[in-house]
């Protein structure tokens, strides 16, 4: 998971972590960093060529982010359930994106979309430490 620049600037790190921990996740790794444009392009390479790509890169490199390695059973589906839909404006009422996000791409958090993606994304930020 990544807490994105909009949520960091709204002082929502703690509130988001509380929701994640209350859902039964263990925080295994966490740090604050800032994407360079090049890093954001590499992280989101799968979206290259999409009309929203440049805006996504601008936004994700606009301020600090908090990447996390999280652990629990069925982690991907459990996290995506509490995170909510990509468009924060359309996300279900009780979700993290509805509460802390605004729209796309200002949707407060990124959540890996499969265990395989999660493995790659965790390695991107934390190498082999997890
Ligand atoms: P995220 O979970 O970080 O994964 C890819 C991101 O691309 C997504 O959240 C959004 O911020 C962004 N994104 C996805 N679809 C669109 C879209 N149709 N328009 C703009 N941004 C998008």
Q: Residue 130 above 70 pLDDT? A: no
pTM of the model: 0.95
Please give the residue range of the domain that contains residue 10. 2-33+66-126
Instruction: Give the CA-trace dihedral at 85, 72, 68, 5, to 10 degrees.
Output: 20
Q: Is residue 84 part of a domain?
A: yes
pLDDT digits (tens, 9 = 90+) for 7-18: 999 999 999 999
Is residue 22 a part of any domain in this protein? yes
110: Cα separation from own chain's centroid: 2
Model confidence band, residue 129 (pLDDT cutoffs 50, 70, 90): low
Distance 18 CA to ligand 1 centre (A): 24
Ligand 1 centroid to Cα of residue 72, in Å, is: 25
Whether 110 is catalytic: yes
The CATH number assigned to the domain holding 114 equals 3.30.70.141
- For 44-85, what is each residue's pLDDT tens digit? 999 999 999 999 999 999 999 999 999 999 999 999 999 999
Dig out the tokens for 130 from the structure.
Answer: 């997890």
Instruction: Please pick, among 4, 97, 106, 110, the residue that the annotation labels catalytic.
Output: 110
Residue 128 tokens, joined:
């082999």
Q: Taking 60 as the threshold, does the pLDDT of residue 20 lie above it?
A: yes
Q: Is the dihedral of CA 75, 86, 23, 122 positive or negative?
A: positive
Residue 38 belongs to some domain of the structure: no
Total structural domains in the chain? 1
């Amino acid at each position: 998971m990544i807490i994105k620049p909009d949520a960091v600037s709204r002082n929502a790190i703690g509130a988001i972590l509380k929701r994640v921990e209350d859902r039964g996740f263990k925080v295994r790794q966490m740090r604050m960093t800032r994407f360079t444009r090049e890093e954001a392009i590499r992280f989101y390479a799968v979206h290259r060529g999409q009309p929203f790509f440049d805006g996504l890169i601008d936004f994700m490199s606009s301020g600090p982010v908090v990447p996390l390695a999280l652990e629990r059973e069925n982690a991907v589906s459990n996290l995506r359930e509490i995170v909510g839909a990509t468009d924060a404006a359309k996300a279900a009422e009780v979700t993290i994106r509805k509460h802390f996000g605004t729209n796309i791409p200002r949707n407060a958090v990124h959540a890996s979309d499969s265990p395989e993606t999660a493995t790659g994304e965790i390695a991107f930020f934390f190498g082999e430490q997890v």
